[in-house]
């Protein structure tokens, strides 16, 4: 996956790169991962920033680096601890992949983050974009990157039509990103590849916004095809979003002798490795009350009776808008776990010690009657 494209002439690209790098060095945001010259920190930040806003990531990144300051520290940590530190960021497969990748870096690379693209993309959770970001930002290699922000900038500057996530538009954008980073590296400017790629991301995040871009602040406004043709609101031509699905789920808050039953989901799948009150989908012909009785039987082999409704929680994830109904239940019989990896009866004050998805934390707050701190 080594970058080998050579633009026919990179003079226009060099001027573009010069303007972007100059702007970035003058106006970029002070973010904690930019203050650390460490490939591991770059890697962690790029994973956290996937589908998550910068301001949300900042405190998580700082706490993460305090708890797991090196690849070795992360690799040696129990997965439960890793997931607990990730709690609230969502998309937990990122944390599981990061943990597994850290173990492979320790076992196969002596604890040093590899520099080569072909080695980076073999690590769990690292695709072409993340590998390019690590290689260019941490190791100053002329490797291209293409995330949503960069794609939007390139679509507008070069007038690229079509869905940027699909070919041929996606391939064209990768080629343009490669041309630019090669042109930047030819200027023999220190950190050129790193700053050029970060400039593209920064421009898309702060100026070239999806709606109402702040064009007067753009350092390459004169070179922007969308600006010349008045198509800022048309480009990029993003694909149609999937229709929102609105499933109903139920959770059984089962109490026995002053303890609650929580169960750990299988590692693979949605919310893998996280702990929850037994939960499942509500059938179209079921009431939530009848569904929770069925779910308790199917998931943990318990016969339960509903005591009262605890409340309901709304949660959005990608194109799903989930309504989760929680019921306090009494149980009869012995607990078995045909679905869950593990289960435990815990005291009310112990439930928050286990890593849980956001909807479950909200249920726990309803049960406790007070918000839980992160």
How far apart CA 138 and CA 157 sit, in angstroms, is 26
User: Tokens 């934390």 belong to which residue?
Assistant: 361
End-to-end, the C-alpha distance of the chain in Å comes to 40
For residue 245, what is the DSSP state?
B
Q: How far is CA 161 from CA 19, 175, 230, in A?
A: 24, 14, 14
- 168 CB-side CA count, 13 A: 2
User: Catalytic residue positions?
Assistant: 46
Phi then psi dihedrals of residue 324, to 5 deg: -115, 115
Contacts of 21 (CB under 8 A, 6+ apart): 184, 189, 192, 195, 196, 199
- Buried b or exposed e, range 267-299, using 16+ CB within 10 angstroms: eeeebbbbbbbbbbebeeebebeebbbbbbbeb
The two three-digit tokens of residue 237, written as one number: 């031509």
Nearest to 128 by CA among 139, 117, 119: 117
How far apart CA 215 and CA 222 sit, in angstroms, is 10
How far apart CA 22 and CA 289 sit, in angstroms, is 62
Decide the pairing of beta strands 320-332 and 279-281. Answer: unpaired
Contacts of 109 (CB under 8 A, 6+ apart): 119
Contacts of 25 (CB under 8 A, 6+ apart): 195
């Amino acid at each position: 996956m080594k970058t080998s494209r050579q633009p026919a002439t990179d003079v226009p690209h060099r001027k573009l790169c010069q303007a972007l790098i100059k702007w970035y060095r003058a106006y970029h945001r002070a973010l904690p991962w930019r203050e650390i010259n460490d490939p591991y920190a770059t890697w962690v930040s790029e994973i956290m920033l996937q589908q998550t806003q910068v301001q949300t990531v900042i405190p998580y990144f700082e706490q993460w680096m305090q708890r797991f300051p090196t690849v070795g520290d992360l690799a040696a940590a129990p997965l439960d601890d890793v997931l607990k530190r990730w709690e609230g960021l969502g998309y937990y497969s990122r944390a599981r992949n990061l943990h597994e990748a850290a173990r492979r870096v320790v076992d196969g690379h002596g604890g040093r983050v590899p520099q080569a693209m072909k080695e980076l993309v073999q690590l769990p959770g690292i695709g072409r974009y993340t590998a390019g970001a690590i290689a260019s930002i941490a190791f100053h290699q002329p490797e291209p990157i293409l995330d949503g922000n960069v794609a939007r900038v390139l679509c507008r500057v070069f007038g690229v039509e079509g869905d940027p996530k699909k070919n041929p538009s996606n391939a064209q954008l990768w080629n343009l990103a490669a041309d630019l980073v090669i042109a930047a590296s030819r200027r023999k400017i220190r950190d050129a590849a790193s700053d050029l790629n970060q400039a593209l991301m920064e421009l898309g995040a702060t100026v070239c916004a999806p709606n109402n871009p702040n064009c007067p602040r753009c350092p390459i406004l004169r070179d922007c095809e969308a600006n010349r043709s008045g198509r800022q609101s048309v480009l990029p031509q993003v694909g149609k979003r999937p229709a929102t699905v609105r499933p109903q789920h139920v959770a059984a808050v089962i109490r026995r002798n002053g303890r609650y039953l929580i169960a750990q989901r299988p590692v693979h799948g949605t919310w893998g490795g996280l702990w929850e009150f037994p939960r499942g989908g509500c059938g179209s012909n079921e009431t939530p009350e009848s569904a929770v009785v069925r779910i308790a039987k199917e998931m943990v082999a318990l016969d339960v009776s509903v005591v009262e409704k605890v409340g309901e929680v709304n949660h959005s994830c990608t194109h799903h808008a989930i309504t989760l109904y929680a019921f306090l239940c009494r149980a009869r019989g012995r607990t078995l776990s045909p679905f869950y990896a593990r289960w435990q009866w815990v005291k009310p004050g112990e439930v928050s010690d286990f890593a849980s998805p956001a909807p479950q934390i909200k249920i726990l707050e309803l049960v406790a009657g007070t918000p839980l701190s992160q």
